[in-house]
Amino acid sequence: MKVSIKPGRCSGEVCAPPSKSYAHRMLICAALADGESRIRGLARSEDMLATLDCIAALGAEYKLDGDTVTVKGGKNRTAEGAVFPCRESGSTLRFMLPIAAACGESARFTGTDRLMERGVGIYEAIFAEKGIGIKKDGGSIELSGRLTSGEYTFRGDVSSQFVTGLLFALPLLEGGSVV
């Protein structure tokens, strides 16, 4: 096959691929906010569907229409023992663990075996200091106890997902906190 490229003026439209990292965060912000939010340009990936399932477990309602999702948030209360189906999304798991701990006394996170093997050690250490139990049982992680305000300290080389999870959760609590 031969292709000829000749000088000329470029024109057209290009859509940048959506950022999965930003999309997770926007969906969670919408779920935590009062009222209705509309997010456009969402890619329907397994990770995005996991986050949508988890914000529903948190109490938010959503409607997916093409690449646009409308989220009705502000309820932010999970039923005791709520199940957060994270599929294989490490981002979803890391963002939602502290939010669930801020909103209820117990929660269960499910996902693939591979996801459950991935590290949440930062939260295990932080939560143990605050009296929150994390029990790993094969295909799930069980949380028991409620997150409280206060001081949260951890190494500076951890993934921003752990910091973001705390930054989502701590404003839901009574009293001030320091990270």
Mean per-residue pLDDT for 94-122?
90
Percent share of the chain, pLDDT over 90: 71
Residues 6+ apart with CB under 8 A from 64: 42, 44, 52
- Whether 86 and 96 have beta carbons less than 8 Å apart is answered as yes
Measured CA to CA in angstroms, residue 74 lies from 29, 78, 108, 133, 174 at distances of: 10, 12, 21, 26, 16
The model carries a pTM of 0.88
Which tens digit of pLDDT belongs to each residue from 135-150? 988 789 999 999 999 9
Task: Give the whole-angstrom CA distance, residue 167 versus residue 92.
Answer: 14
Measured CA to CA in angstroms, residue 45 lies from 59, 137, 141, 158 at distances of: 21, 26, 23, 25
Task: Give the whole-angstrom CA distance, residue 101 versus residue 23.
Answer: 22
Start-to-end C-alpha separation, the chain: 59
Confidence of residue 7 (pLDDT cuts 50, 70, 90): confident
Q: Is the pLDDT of residue 75 over 80?
A: no
Mean per-residue pLDDT for 18-45?
93
Confidence (pLDDT) at 79: 67
Confidence (pLDDT) at 1: 72
- Whether 165 and 84 have beta carbons less than 8 Å apart is answered as no
Residues 6+ apart with CB under 8 A from 72: 35, 36, 60, 61, 62
Please state, as a whole number, how many other Cβ atoms lie within 10 Å of the Cβ of residue 172.
16
Whole-number mean pLDDT of the chain?
Answer: 91
Residues 6+ apart with CB under 8 A from 118: 90, 93
- Whether 103 and 36 have beta carbons less than 8 Å apart is answered as no
User: Helix, strand, coil % (nearest 5) of the chain?
Assistant: 35, 20, 40
Q: Is the pLDDT of residue 118 over 90?
A: no
Which tens digit of pLDDT belongs to each residue from 81-107? 899 999 999 999 999 999 999 998 899
